[in-house]
Amino acid sequence: MSEHSDYYSPSGAKTWLNCAGSAILNHGKRDSGNKYSTRGTMLHDFAERNAFDVPFDDIDYSGLNPDDARAVKTAIIQAINLQGWMGDVNDVEIHLELQVKAPDVPDCFGTIDIFIFNRAEKHLLIADYKFGSMYVEVKMNPQLLIYALGGCEYLESRHSGSGWEGIENITLAIIQPAVDDEKPMTFSLSKTELEAWEEEVFLPAVDDIEGLKRSFSQGEVIPLKVFNPGPDQCQWCRSKKDGTCPALQAEVDQAVEEMKLPAIPEVDSTDWVEVMNRVELVKQWAKAREEQMMELVTSGQAPQGFKAVRGRMGNRAWGDEEAADRWLKSQGLKEKERNVFKLKSPPQIEKLLTDLTPQKKANFEKLITRSEGKLSWAYEDDRREAVEVVDVNVAMADDDIDAL
């Protein structure tokens, strides 16, 4: 997915929709990229070239490492399944890498990875590949909603005057193999709901930013009140990354100031959402500063008082295993003294047992154990199911009663 907008980049919409000041502060800044974004772009291009244009069995994954090949193959399967779900290939209009523009905003362009329209059902699907491991929420995902606005505009201009009856339903889909390797994550909404979002969220945010653009060009300093620090919007903000956001800095200063207070928060009277939002912001700010320092010292620009150092050396390993084995053998070590034989892990074995019957598959599963995931905290609207945990005070009181 390539982006063409600076103020209104769809992929950065979570940031500028929630923090108007970010659009001004981030204007003209470029992401330097990293190994994760390079990998994402490479896999994305591979999926784009192969998903619909090459017969599935002819796709050549040989240039990819096994993990990347598995991820992109999963993505391609999910993309093909989505197309099947939208209807027979003769009944749908498919576009890959479709460049669209959101209506009424001059500078809001983006490229939709997969666009499928079923005219008979008046149903539009917008799908986006994500190859990172950090979960991306599909429900009311602002990037995909902007693509949907652009997709509707595209269809309306393309079909106007030809008995066009419009779109009724839209499905947004995120294909993210690292999060769900079975199916894409989807969210459906009506065209009316999309238009309500456009009126109530999208256009008011654009109006705010246009107002700031005018003020800013007149030389006004951007006031703190137009920023809105929060874990979601700051997460990928370039001004968090380069440390230039005054509002985030003020938020961190305030949080640090409050940390000096001796009072222990009262559990019941504390606004924990606010506390944890602030904790998250301070962590993000600290992580961004660490990354910035790392970039400086590893590019030969260490600030005064800092230097680049090397960590502990890696574990010792044989430079040439075969040569080492020959030499060890010549020293009289027997084969079982030179080698460790170990059963492969379930995922490694699973790749060898590709044709198991359901019964054998069930027997295979019975051999496997997994430790439970660690308990951690999450916001109430997190998509994962809540774990029932017994209140320790109630449990202790029950124990006291039993002891009577």
For ligand SF4, the closer of residues 206 and 237 by Cβ is 237
Residues 286, 292, 297, 299, Cα dihedral to 10°: 160
For ligand SF4, the closer of residues 130 and 238 by Cβ is 238
Number of amino acids touching ligand SF4 (CB under 6 A): 16
Strand extents, DSSP E, 102-178: 109-118, 123-129, 169-175
Q: Is 22 exposed, middle or buried (0-12, 13-18, 19+ CB in 10 A)?
A: buried
Tokens representing 199? 């009126």
Tokens 């190994």 locate to 35
For ligand SF4, the closer of residues 250 and 273 by Cβ is 250
| 277 counts as binding ligand SF4 under rule CB under 6 A | no
Stretch that binds ligand SF4, among 17-25, 128-136, 157-165, 364-372 (CB under 6 A): 17-25
| 22 counts as binding ligand SF4 under rule CB under 6 A | yes
State the nearest-atom distance from the C-beta of 358 to ligand SF4, in Å: 50
State the nearest-atom distance from the C-beta of 204 to ligand SF4, in Å: 17
For ligand SF4, the closer of residues 177 and 229 by Cβ is 229
For ligand SF4, the closer of residues 171 and 233 by Cβ is 233
| 151 counts as binding ligand SF4 under rule CB under 6 A | no
State the nearest-atom distance from the C-beta of 227 to ligand SF4, in Å: 4
* DSSP-assigned beta bridge partners for residue 98: 112
Residue 99 CA to residue 257 CA, distance in Å, equals 47
| 216 counts as binding ligand SF4 under rule CB under 6 A | no
For ligand SF4, the closer of residues 46 and 285 by Cβ is 285
Residue 101 CA to residue 11 CA, distance in Å, equals 13
Q: Is 39 exposed, middle or buried (0-12, 13-18, 19+ CB in 10 A)?
A: middle
For ligand SF4, the closer of residues 47 and 146 by Cβ is 146
Stretch that binds ligand SF4, among 13-21, 40-48, 79-87, 192-200 (CB under 6 A): 13-21
State the nearest-atom distance from the C-beta of 221 to ligand SF4, in Å: 14
* Interface residue with ligand SF4, options 17, 19, 100, 282 (CB under 6 A): 19
* Interface residue with ligand SF4, options 82, 155, 205, 245 (CB under 6 A): 245
Residue 229 CA to residue 25 CA, distance in Å, equals 13
Stretch that binds ligand SF4, among 141-149, 192-200, 227-235, 314-322 (CB under 6 A): 227-235
The DSSP result for 312-379, as a single string, is PPPPP--SSHHHHHHHHHHTT--HHHH----PPPHHHHHHH-TT--HHHHHHHHHT---PPPPP----
| 111 counts as binding ligand SF4 under rule CB under 6 A | no
* DSSP-assigned beta bridge partners for residue 171: 125, 188
Tokens 């990037």 locate to 143
| 25 counts as binding ligand SF4 under rule CB under 6 A | yes
Residue 377 CA to residue 213 CA, distance in Å, equals 39
| 21 counts as binding ligand SF4 under rule CB under 6 A | yes
Residue 75 CA to residue 85 CA, distance in Å, equals 15
| 234 counts as binding ligand SF4 under rule CB under 6 A | yes
Nearest to 210 by CA among 103, 109, 106: 106
For ligand SF4, the closer of residues 69 and 279 by Cβ is 279
Residue 279 CA to residue 379 CA, distance in Å, equals 13
Tokens representing 349? 């074995």
Task: Report the SS3 class of residue 171.
Answer: strand
* Interface residue with ligand SF4, options 50, 118, 141, 233 (CB under 6 A): 233
| 227 counts as binding ligand SF4 under rule CB under 6 A | yes
* DSSP-assigned beta bridge partners for residue 126: 115, 172
Cβ neighbours around 360 below 10 Å, total: 11
| 212 counts as binding ligand SF4 under rule CB under 6 A | no
| 175 counts as binding ligand SF4 under rule CB under 6 A | no
| 229 counts as binding ligand SF4 under rule CB under 6 A | yes
For ligand SF4, the closer of residues 44 and 240 by Cβ is 240
State the nearest-atom distance from the C-beta of 295 to ligand SF4, in Å: 18
* Interface residue with ligand SF4, options 141, 176, 239, 277 (CB under 6 A): 239
Applying CB under 6 A, which residues contact ligand SF4? 15, 19, 21-22, 25, 227-229, 233-234, 237, 239-240, 245, 247-248
